[in-house]
């Protein structure tokens, strides 16, 4: 097996899971992996090489046709996936994939940046290493990181940022009003919008705070409940533009059958609003800026 390739191979997260599971019980040749994954030989080979480079698989080349088996690292990675412990799975990849580890570190250092910014930082940091990066490799690594929840990407601007599992700050309401004002101004001084898209507010606020989308949704609902009459949630018609995003929201869930463990992946470009009492809301209006915010777990 040659690991001389400088860039990460374009292998999806689900393929890494599938090939690790496929080689978990018995060693397999590339041809056998091709059949197990139901892919072309070239795709199977590409997946095997990348999984071997990041120590999910080990190679036995004693015979003419090399065989592959899951390593201890691969077993830990697979168990994390089966437990839906996405954070642990990400940490394993970060430790054993030099490309993924560098990508995560770069996003943490730049805090938020578009693909070009992240790529330029990676190229500068990795200039004197055996590894290199291009647009495709950043997109591949970003896909892994987004699906595992280590990184989020603004669905409207494409900016990458760390998705911290930390609480929403107590000054959330002031930050939200500031972002609300910024977005309101984009319509022009004479066209100030009373109702603003919650998906746009969420993406901008999460990027500012490095917060998860779930944390934003919870905080916004609490804020609205604590400021009835001052803040208003509004629904939207089925064809509203509030739901449309430029980029997809990367998601992951466990899937598979008795023969193959995999992950079901989706890229959702139609964004959700927030749900309150079973109803979906896509717009927020601010009628009175004198609002307060107290988190439920605050003393």
Residue entry with tokens 């309150």: 276
Take residue 230 and report the two structure tokens written for it.
Answer: 């001052």
In a structure prediction context, what are the per-residue pLDDT tens digits for the chain, which is 299 residues long?
444 689 999 999 999 999 999 999 889 999 999 999 999 999 999 999 999 999 999 998 756 689 999 999 999 999 999 999 999 999 999 999 999 999 999 999 998 899 999 999 999 998 889 999 999 999 999 999 999 999 999 988 999 999 876 789 999 999 999 999 988 766 544 445 578 889 999 999 999 999 999 999 999 999 999 999 999 998 865 445 555 556 767 777 777 655 556 666 555 645 778 888 888 888 999 999 999 999 876 54
pTM value? 0.86
Which H or E run includes 66?
Answer: none
pLDDT of residue 298: 52
| Cα–Cα dist 217/16, whole Å | 31
Geometric angle at alpha carbon 123, from 118 and 127, rounded to 5°: 155
pLDDT of residue 48: 96
- Answer yes or no: are the C-beta atoms of 57 and 48 closer than 8 Å: yes
pLDDT of residue 242: 52
| Cα–Cα dist 235/284, whole Å | 9
Question: What 3-state DSSP class applies to 254?
Answer: strand
pLDDT of residue 246: 65
- Answer yes or no: are the C-beta atoms of 19 and 58 closer than 8 Å: no
Take residue 140 and report the two structure tokens written for it.
Answer: 């591949």
Query: What domains lie within the chain, and their CATH numbers?
Result: 1-82 (1.10.10.10), 97-163 (1.10.10.10), 172-286 (no CATH)
- Answer yes or no: are the C-beta atoms of 216 and 200 closer than 8 Å: no
CA dist 198 → 152, 212, 298 (Å): 17, 14, 25
Q: How many CB atoms lie within 10 A of CB 190?
A: 5
pLDDT of residue 127: 86
């Amino acid at each position: 097996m040659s690991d001389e390739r400088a860039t990460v191979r374009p292998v999806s997260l689900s393929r890494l899971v599938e090939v690790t599971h496929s080689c978990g019980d018995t060693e397999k040749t590339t041809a056998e992996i091709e059949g197990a994954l139901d892919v072309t030989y070239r795709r199977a080979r590409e997946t095997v090489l990348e999984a071997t480079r990041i120590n999910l698989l080990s190679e036995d080349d004693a015979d003419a046709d090399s065989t592959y088996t899951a390593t201890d690292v691969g077993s830990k990675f697979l168990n994390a996936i089966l437990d839906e412990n996405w954070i642990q799975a990400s940490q394993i990849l970060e430790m054993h994939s030099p490309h993924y580890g560098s990508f995560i570190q770069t996003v943490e250092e730049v805090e938020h940046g578009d693909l070009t910014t992240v790529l330029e930082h990676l190229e500068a940091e990795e200039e004197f290493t055996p590894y290199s990066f291009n647009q495709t490799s950043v997109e591949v690594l970003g896909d892994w990181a987004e699906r595992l929840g280590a990184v989020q990407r603004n669905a409207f601007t494409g900016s990458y940022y760390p998705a911290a599992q930390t609480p929403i700050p107590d000054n959330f309401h002031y930050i939200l009003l500031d972002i609300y004002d910024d977005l309101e101004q984009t319509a022009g001084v004479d066209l100030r919008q009373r109702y603003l898209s919650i998906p746009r507010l969420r993406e901008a606020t999460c990027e500012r705070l490095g917060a998860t989308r779930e944390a934003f949704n919870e905080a916004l609902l609490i804020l609205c409940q604590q400021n009835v009459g001052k803040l208003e949630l509004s629904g939207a018609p089925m064809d509203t533009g509030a739901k449309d995003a430029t980029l997809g929201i990367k998601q992951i869930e466990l899937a598979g059958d008795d023969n193959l463990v995999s992950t079901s992946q989706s890229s959702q470009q139609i964004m959700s609003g927030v749900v309150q009492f079973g109803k979906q809301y896509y717009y927020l209006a601010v009628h009175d800026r004198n609002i307060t915010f107290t988190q439920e777990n605050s003393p």
